[in-house]
């Protein structure tokens, strides 16, 4: 049964690439890194009931398992190429595998990402994906380059995924006219968009970059630590979707935007003189980008409210072992 599952995954995720010398079917993959490129590697694990709610559709799990890893490549300015998959299942369920592989493949194919190997085991549902991508030498984006005076920007909108999780946990009753707003937010939770084109466009432009997985405050805090700086952001500037603002009050919407995870947008710093160029580049890619603050002397993130006072921000985002 295990080998039938592996073969089924192989069939559903097939993606020919000339740089895959040996893919699925041997003890290990043999891959050729193109000349003049550096290899960027990332891995994430998704656990049932932790990274996705129990009962999530297999097609959405497959999409998200790849998306969160591609987002890490995006934050480094890398172009994806290959992936490894370790899939742990309670049972050899071909219906789950077909749905999972479909969602994985839907996201992989537009990026020409090839699944080149992995493993299947029996146990509580969890998925580990390792992705590999390329970046020109010395051009990888990191968390460590933010400089005092830089402007801080984010792609897309913030807080939608956390609000989608809240909506799932607090379902509407009856024929509620707000159902479409709820569905939009849940879709943002289940099928995040890795900002790969934006990440590549930021090579040579951004001084520091990170993807928002654990929440804006938590992830900006990582940039502060790595760069030895502080950040001041303006609550009034945070980009939030109309669905979020229509479904939740201002206090809740702000909390989701600051501390909610799973958005997988990019947060980055750029020199002030590059602002117009970066905004133009990302707009051409169809990716919204918003200036939300600036890099300052210090070592932490502060948020200024609409009344010009500093907000108390106790919750700093998701922590596995808190």
CATH architecture of the domain covering 151-304: Alpha-Beta Complex (3.90)
What beta strand segments (E) does 241-318 contain? 266-270, 289-296, 301-304
Per-residue pLDDT of the chain (322 residues; tens, 9 = 90+): 455 556 667 676 667 788 989 888 888 999 999 999 999 999 999 998 777 888 899 999 999 999 999 999 999 999 999 999 999 998 878 888 889 989 999 999 999 999 998 888 899 989 999 999 999 999 999 999 999 999 999 999 999 999 999 998 887 766 677 788 999 999 999 999 999 999 999 999 999 999 999 999 999 999 999 999 999 999 999 999 999 999 999 999 999 999 988 999 999 999 999 999 999 999 999 888 999 999 999 999 999 998 889 988 765 555 543 4
pTM of the model: 0.92
Q: Please give the full DSSP string across 87-108, using - where no structure is assigned.
A: EEESS--HHHHHHHHHHHHHHH
Same fold yes or no, 2-135 and 151-304: no
CA dist., res. 214 & res. 72, Å (int): 12
Query: Could you tell me the residue ranges of all domains in the chain?
Result: 2-135, 151-304
What beta strand segments (E) does 62-196 contain? 79-89, 114-122, 126-135, 151-155
CA dist., res. 177 & res. 40, Å (int): 45
Tokens at 207, concatenated: 């001084």
CA dist., res. 246 & res. 248, Å (int): 6
The CATH number assigned to the domain with range 2-135 reads 3.30.1330.10
């Amino acid at each position: 049964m295990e080998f039938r599952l592996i073969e089924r995954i192989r069939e559903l995720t097939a993606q020919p690439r000339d740089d895959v010398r040996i893919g699925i079917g041997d003890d290990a993959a043999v891959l050729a890194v193109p000349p003049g490129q550096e290899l960027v590697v990332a891995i994430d694990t998704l656990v049932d009931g932790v990274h996705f709610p129990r009962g999530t559709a297999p097609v959405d799990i497959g999409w998200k398992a790849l998306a969160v890893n591609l987002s890490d490549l995006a934050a480094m300015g890398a172009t994806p190429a290959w992936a490894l998959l370790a899939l742990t299942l309670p049972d050899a369920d071909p219906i789950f595998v077909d749905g999972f592989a479909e969602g994985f493949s839907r996201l992989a194919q537009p990026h020409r990402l090839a699944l080149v190997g992995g493993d299947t085991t029996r146990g509580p549902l969890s998925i580990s994906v390792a992705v590999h991508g390329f970046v020109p030498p010395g051009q990888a984006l990191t968390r460590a380059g933010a400089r005092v005076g830089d402007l801080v920007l984010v792609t897309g909108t913030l807080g939608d995924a956390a609000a989608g999780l809240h909506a799932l946990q607090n379902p509407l009753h009856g024929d509620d006219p707000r159902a479409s707003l709820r569905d939009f937010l849940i879709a943002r939770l289940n099928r995040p968009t890795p900002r790969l084109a934006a990440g590549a466009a930021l090579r040579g432009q951004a001084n520091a970059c990170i993807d928002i997985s654990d929440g804006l405050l938590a992830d900006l805090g990582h940039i502060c630590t790595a760069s030895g700086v502080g950040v001041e952001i303006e609550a009034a500037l945070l980009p939030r979707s109309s669905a979020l603002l229509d479904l939740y009050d201002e206090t809740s919407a702000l909390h989701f935007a600051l501390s909610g995870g799973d958005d997988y947008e990019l947060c980055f710093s750029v020199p002030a003189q590059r602002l117009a160029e970066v905004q133009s580049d990302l707009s051409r890619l169809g990716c919204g980008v918003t200036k939300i603050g600036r890099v300052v002397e210090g070592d932490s993130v502060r948020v200024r409210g609409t009344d010009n006072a500093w907000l108390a921000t106790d919750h700093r985002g998701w922590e596995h072992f808190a």
